[in-house]
Structures are given as C-alpha cells and as structure tokens.
A and B are shown apart, each in its own frame.
Chain A
C-alpha cells in the first residue's frame, strides 16, 4: 500500500477562523511580504475544462440534476442540495435546519449499518476508513447531503441519498440525540471562535434584524422548543423534490448518470415548491454593533488585549454579471500578501504579539441565506486601536471607489481567484457541490465552468464601478475582550 509520510502543509489549509456555511470566495490572509507578479494571462489561456461533458435536466417532480463526466478517477461524488436557507428559518426556531440535518445523518448511519441491501456501501466505508463518505451539512443558503463512492456503487449511493432526504422516518430518540450533538458542536466551534461570534454580530449590523444573527446551530433554548412534529412539518414543507438540486460528478457519461438519478429520484412525488422569502438587504445603513467575549483574552502577559473589528458591505448577487468582480475585489483586499496584508496603518493598529494564533486579517464572501450577498473583512487589533483599524478598513473600501487598482495588484488578485477556483475542484464531491450550488443560486452550472475566464476579464474600471455601486454603505461589528 501507499505510504503516509511525515508532512507539513503550507497555505490552503482552512484556518482556525473559517466559518462553516460560508460559500465562495478566497479565504484568509496573512500579513506578509510584497509579492512578485504572476504572468499576466489572457482569458483565452483558460478554460479547457469548459469542454467537459455536462448534462442537466429537471425531472418530472422538479428535482434538478446536473451530471458531469470526469474520468480522471473511478470515484463518483454526489451532492444533494436542498434550497432551504436561513431565510426559511426566520419564522421557525433557530437551528431547526441543522437539527434536521443531524437527524438525517443519524438515519443514514443507522440504515447503512442495518440494511442488508447496503452491504456494498458499507464495504466502501471499509475501503476508505479515513474518510467520511456519507454526510450532511447545513449552510446559510441551503442544506446538503452527500456521498462519495466508486462508480459501480453510484446507483446504491443515489438511492440511499434519496431515502435520506425524502423518506427516512424521524424518531423522538433521534431528536434528543441530535440536540445533544448540536450542543456539543456549539461548544466545540462557535463557543471557541471569536470570529464566528463576531460574524453573527455583523449579520445583525448588515440587516438591522437580530434574527439573522442567530447561529446555524441555534441556541440551547431555540432547539429545546423544537418538537418532533415541528421537524416533520418543516421537512415535509421545505425538503421537497422541487426544491432539490443534485450534482453528480463521475466517470460515467452524463446521460448515464442522469438516468441513474432519474431512477432514484423521480419516484418521489413533487410537492409544491416552497416560496423563497426574499433575503434581507445587506445595507441597513452604517450600523455598528458591539459585543464582548472572553475568547479575546488570548494575548500574552503584558501585551495589549486583542479586539476584533469586522466590516461588511453588500456585493452583487450571484446572478449578476458583476458577481465575479466581487471575488476579485475580495482577493485584492484579503489574499495573503494583498492590500490589507501590506497596509502599514493597519499593521500598526494590529500591534498584536506575533505568537498570536489568530489570523490577523481575513475576508470572506457569503452569497446565500437570509442576508443578501455580502463581503466581510475582519482584523484582529489592539483593543486600544479599534477606531484606527476600523477607519483604515473603511478608508480602503472608499479608496476602491475612487482610485484604480494598479495592474500588478489586479493581475495577482486574478491569479489568486483563478488558482483558488481551480483548487476548489479537487475532489468529485467538491465539483458536484459547485455544479449543484450554481444551479440552486440561479446562475446555472455554466457559471462554474466560465468562472476563471470571467475573473480574468475583470478590469480596474470594473472594480471601481462595483465599489462605487455597492460600498457606499457599510456595517461594522466590534468584538471587545471581557474586562479582566
């Protein structure tokens, strides 16, 4: 067998501050040295993969299937996305989607363990014991269920996922266990991460609506309110075929994969597509929200206490031709070695000990859910320099509206977006998720295939225009350390 070397990883690995459910956009930035320009590429140099065979079809019951052939390996990745976002949850107990996801996961595990028919899938798990082949997830804009198998098990995998999403029966025992599991997850993730906590404040500042600041995991109290009847009702109303998007990436010809999906999904009655509440605009108007957390007492003895400043601005929707411009702006500002990482004023404002485990600067983009698309930028700073850090971030956003980004900066940012986009396609599941996600967001799967080309076409004028149009209003969240 192959060997597992002693290895270390640089770059690319998700940092401790990644927020689950964030979709799209480059992640993370570290203050570092200025970078050399990559080769300036023309859009024509990109996109051979546009020729990959893809087929999309909407089944009779409304399930949208996108199948892509990728014969580079024998693995098939299936991502089922259900268009149930936080916007659907605003009238329900917070966290109910995650609770449903957890219950689906429990059902899936039990079926995998007990069903004689699923022996081939159990063997798949034996073949890849270090990987979670079957899982569920909850994001701001959708719920997800997925499986990764060798291609001969694709029919079984599709049937299992169909059953999990539409047919599995929930029990009271599962509900209790799922609540406990979410409680443990909350303690493990949100409860230890000041960035996640601050991002929730920012959602409130962006919309002026406190419900949008509820964690995907809900709260102990909100989950305690949920009854089995609630879970069943919400699932029956929202988790319906007409609200479901299936991405399949496998070595099979797309038509064959679509036929298998049809076999698995088309038997389910369609149900009415649930109305999608409009997301709340992300420009409530220069609102600032403050919070405080014990988690910011991380500095060494004698060092100034750290605080966290996060600024949010609206960005173009996924369906806008300018959506890709926001991705490039995100990279201009927030990539490692980008404008913010090289910003001297910001560096002075940070004034944090080098040994801090926190990433000083990070940007991210959220495209779906209860809050309209927005970009969030955060810096960890010295708690005595909050205003300086905040003003510098806001000033940077203003300058994008008036000063053109220089060509070298732009070329590097486009290289970053292009490379990140390519790397986001590493596994079959990664690819399947992107296909299904762009269908769900209304751009069509083609968006994924043309993304890199579009990024290379972005000009400095585009950046100025989009910044002018969208960055006029901003929201700020400030997280202070708890006083000793």
Chain B
C-alpha cells in the first residue's frame, strides 16, 4: 500500500540534543531540549526501591515516597502539591524495585518554580510523628483492602512469585510492602531511610522540553543544586545464587479458574552483558508483544488453552525475572503450562528465521517509539536507565537491539530460560490443593 518513498521520520529516542552534567552536590542533571511546544517535563529519580530495603521493612521506599511527595492534608507535601495544582501543574510519583521517581509537567517559564517545589519536597524534610502515623494508617488500610480483595489475585501471585524466586536478593521483598510490614514502620525508620537515600548524589534530574541546558543548569543550581551532599552508605546486595530446581507455590482462590505464573531469572543491566538484556527483549517480543506474539497466539488462538496470557520482562539493575502469566481455559491448566514450555523450547532449539527476527526488531522499535512519545515518557526512559545503568542506554537501546542475531537469541534463551529450574505460582479453586507437574 505504501506508494511513497521511505519517510524521514525521527529516532525512537533522539540523543542529538541531550546533554548531562553532575552538579557539585552530586546531582546528575540530564537535559533534552525539545522546543516544539512550550512544555517541559521534569523527572526526579531517587535510587531507592526494593533493592535498597535490605535492612528495612518491606515497602519503606513506598512509605517514604508517600511522605515526601504526597502526605496527608495539611502536611508540607500536601500544601506544595496544592500550590502546584493551583498553578496548573501536575505531579506524579511512584516506586519500583530499583528506584523512586517524581514527575512534573509545566509550561517552560515555570521551570524554575517547579524545581523550587521539587527541592522543597525532597530536601531537608522532617516528618512529624502524626504525619507518619497518618500515612501509615492510610497505607495499611489500603493494603488490607488489597490483601482481602478477591480481585487482587494477580498482585498476590506476583508478590509470591518474586518472594519464591529470590531467596536472598531484596528483589524478593514485597514491592510496596504488606499491611504488616508497613505497620512496623516508625517515624525513626522513615526519617533514617529518607536521610540516607534522598540525597542529591543519589538522584538524577531529567528535564525534557522547551529549555536549554543553560536554563536548566541555572534553575537547578539555585534549587536542587543547593541540597547538601551526603554519604549514602549503602551495601550492594549479594547476587542471588543460581536457581537449580523448580520452585512452586499455590494460592487458593474463590473462583473456578486456574491461573499460573512462571518466572525465569533473566539478565540484569548492571551485572550482565547489555546484549543479553536486548536479546531478552527480542525474545519477549517474539513470544508476547501484542496479540500476535508466538506464545499468546498458541495459548489463546491456536489451542484455545487460555482466556488471557501475557509475557513480561522488565530490565532491572540486578537480574530480574522473565514472567509468563496465564489464565487457563477450563481444565486446560496443565496443557497451557506445557504450551508455555514448548514455546520456550522452540526459542532455545530452533533458530529464528531472518524475517521473524526482523519483524520482532521492528515491533520492538515501534513499541519503544510509542513508549517515548511524550516529553514525560522521555524523562521516564532516561531516568529509568540512569537509575539502573546510564541514561545513554535509553538513547542507544534501539541500535543495540538491531545488533541482536538469531544466534544471540538461541544462546540467551538457553542461558536464562531454564526449563528445569524456574518458579511456578498457581492460583487454584479452593478445592484443589496439589500442583501437578507439567513437562514436555
């Protein structure tokens, strides 16, 4: 149908106008100038997530994130947020296994003011015991609701899966915590965690939009640039020992439906060859991107073994998990698990045809383009990679993906997709208790 010559589009994430510098207090500032609109997107990334929770209660990263960026009515955080909203700005924040982030979007003339607000939010905060107590109560209530909810099965399965797959590494902690772990957090815990990790030399500031590097530098210098540098004193977690056998667990559910999650240890960007990370993304794409991934098709269309299926591989600093999730059709759980293993076996044993590899790369490239459409998306990509490696990887990512060969796919699949040593969590009707073994 294309009658026109190839179009001069744009890279999925263009690094042409990206600069970075580290301020004297250690804050890493990354700027991508994009003057097509008056908007600037701002991302502040703090390296505080499950990975830094080793000596702390599960979910303390989320707890401190709530204290710093949200907070109950009348708290400093709430007042700053109200100011921002009153001026038409927007703030979002969140926590992952590797980091905490906050994002804002404002018209470019308000960049300085937005950074002032961010500095007020993250810098030199003290938390009144009543505020800590209010946040704790709210989170515990929220988590209890989730824990008791019949619809939160996927979340409960995911928490169990990570806990089972990681016996030593803090990735096994419950992301966001449990009602019990959050209930144990004291004002002293929260303040210590905040003081240790919310320091400029543990943060990256990413600004994308209608601002020059000079403007950002000037705005940052008088705001976040003034926060004092401190020692982080963080012990890197020991690597997770290799998994050598199948690990299983089951949760009972009050529904006549069988669901399962299978997890395989993948490469980490901070610990493995980046080619492995990109290759795993290609494998993920072949198996599960969109409706026509091999595995999704096999489970849902060709064999009608599942009513829903998904594949996930999120790049992490340390080795994370490659996860297949499936809600099996009636009486098809075992067959669905066999189909998953069979699809993985094919990836390991059968070389990809060139056209299939090319199509997967194109799909991955387009997916990356969509996930970098907005300025905010781009702060997200660069902040994400800067926390776990370097922001430059966000820019080089597609070029690296393009280097992946069919041999890489087989080699990487063989290395990580261990069909005899994975983690399986099933959710079964309360009457079923044993996990049957699926094998090829």
Contact = CB atoms under 8 A, between A and B. Distances in A.
Interface string B169-204: 000000110000000000000000000000000000
A6 B88 contact: no
Contacts of B109: 39, 41, 45-46, 418
Interface string B200-239: 0000000010100000000000000000000000000000
A46 B170 CA distance: 47
Contacts of A73: 10, 12-14, 369, 372-374, 377-378
A52 B34 CA distance: 10
Contacts of B6: 152
A71 B14 contact: yes
Interface in B66-97: 66, 69-70, 79, 81-97
A252 interface: yes
B89 A11 contact: yes
A415 B110 contact: yes
Contact of A74 (B11, B91, B291, B363): B11
Contacts of A33: 79, 82
A423 B88 contact: yes
Given A39-B112, A126-B292, A155-B4, A452 B38 contact: yes
B100 to A, nearest CB: 8
A335 B81 CA distance: 14
Interface string B349-387: 000000000010011001101111111111011001000
A425 B9 CA distance: 20
A74 B10 contact: yes
B36 interface: yes
Interface string A322-356: 00000000010001111000000000000000000
B207 to A, nearest CB: 13
Interface string A1-26: 11111111111100000000000001
A71 B313 contact: no
A5 B49 CA distance: 10
B281 interface: yes
B314 A75 contact: no
Contact of B38 (A4, A48, A68, A331): A48
Nearest to A126: B290
A123 B369 CA distance: 13
Interface stretch (A300-308, A388-396, A426-434): A426-434
A124 B83 CA distance: 39
A75 B369 CA distance: 7
Contact of A422 (B66, B97, B107, B366): B107
Contacts of A128: 366-367, 370-371
B49 to A, nearest CB: 9
A12 B10 CA distance: 29
B250 interface: no
Given A6-B94, A73-B373, A131-B370, A256 B8 contact: yes
Nearest to A47: B38
Listed from nearest, the 6 A-B pairs whose CB atoms lie closest are A126-B290, A7-B94, A419-B88, A337-B86, A151-B9, A12-B90
A252 B82 contact: no
Interface in B142-165: none
Contact of A418 (B8, B11, B107, B281): B107
A234 to B, nearest CB: 30
Given A128-B370, A336-B85, A422-B39, A155 B94 contact: no
A127 B7 contact: no
Contacts of A8: 66, 70, 92-94
Interface of A: 1-12, 26, 30, 32-33, 35-36, 38-39, 41, 45-49, 51-52, 68-75, 117-118, 120, 123-129, 131, 148, 150-152, 154-156, 159, 250-253, 256, 260, 263, 331, 335-338, 412, 415-423, 425-428, 431, 452
A424 B313 CA distance: 32
A339 to B, nearest CB: 11
Contacts of A426: 39, 105, 374-376
Contact of B4 (A30, A35, A263): A263
Interface of B is mostly: mixed
B315 interface: yes
A117 B6 CA distance: 17
B1 interface: yes
B2 interface: yes
A335 B88 contact: yes
Given A10-B90, A419-B88, A35 B96 contact: no
21 contacts: A2-B380, A10-B90, A11-B89, A46-B109, A70-B37, A73-B372, A125-B291, A126-B363, A127-B370, A154-B7, A252-B9, A336-B86, A412-B86, A418-B110, A421-B38, A422-B39, A423-B89, A423-B90, A427-B373, A427-B374, A452-B107
Given A5-B94, A6-B176, A32-B82, A48 B313 contact: no
B422 interface: no
Question: Which of A26, A41, A336 has the most chain B CB atoms closer than 10 A to its own CB?
Answer: A336
B7 A11 contact: no
A123 B363 contact: yes
A428 B39 CA distance: 13
Nearest to B277: A1
B129 interface: no
A236 B93 CA distance: 49
A418 B314 contact: no
A252 B5 CA distance: 13
Contacts of B284: 1
Contacts of A7: 92-95
Given A41-B109, A46-B109, A126-B292, A156 B2 contact: yes
Contacts of B359: 123
Nearest to B100: A5
B136 interface: no
A423 B105 contact: yes
A151 B281 CA distance: 23
Contacts of B372: 73-74
Nearest to A257: B7
A160 to B, nearest CB: 10
Given A75-B370, A120-B2, A419-B110, 9 more contacts: A1-B314, A10-B91, A35-B83, A150-B9, A336-B82, A336-B86, A415-B110, A418-B88, A422-B106
Contact of B101 (A5, A74, A148): A5
A252 to B, nearest CB: 6
A142 B89 CA distance: 29
Contacts of A48: 35, 38, 108, 210
